[in-house]
A = this chain, B = another copy of it.
Amino acid sequence: MTESCPYPLEPDTAQRLAEIFRALADPTRLRLIAEMMHHGRATVHQLASAVGVSVSAVSHQLRTLRQLRLVRAQRMGRHVWYSLDDDHVAALYCMGLDHVLHG
């Protein structure tokens, strides 16, 4: 873990890291992440229906998550599928949840 955790934390790295956590600091975005994690991938309509918000609200939140490389999109035929971008995202989500529930 030390290797992936350099010290000191440079101010510009701190800024970029804060942005990642800011993207996760929203209940709706967290619920979208929970859906993608559970189902592996989902369309924007599936996500809107699961989380109970509008398709345009989901699209907006997915854009934020994609810009920070937390979510990726893949077009297959007529559908665009959204999934978590890498294992870090699922791990951050689960570890945070573990802290909330049992920490």
Which residues of A line the B interface, CB within 8 A?
Answer: 1, 4-9, 11, 13-22, 24-28, 30-31, 34-35, 37-38, 69, 85-86, 88-103
Contacts and interface: CB of A to CB of B under 8 A. Distances in A.
A88 B101 contact: no
Contact of A89 (B8, B90, B99): B99
Q: Interface residues of A: mostly helix, strand, loop or mixed?
A: helix
A6 B99 contact: no
18 contacts: A1-B94, A4-B102, A5-B90, A5-B97, A7-B34, A9-B97, A14-B28, A14-B30, A15-B27, A17-B97, A17-B100, A18-B27, A19-B25, A20-B96, A85-B103, A88-B95, A88-B98, A92-B95
Contact of A99 (B92, B95, B96): B92
B9 A30 contact: yes
A6 B92 CA distance: 14
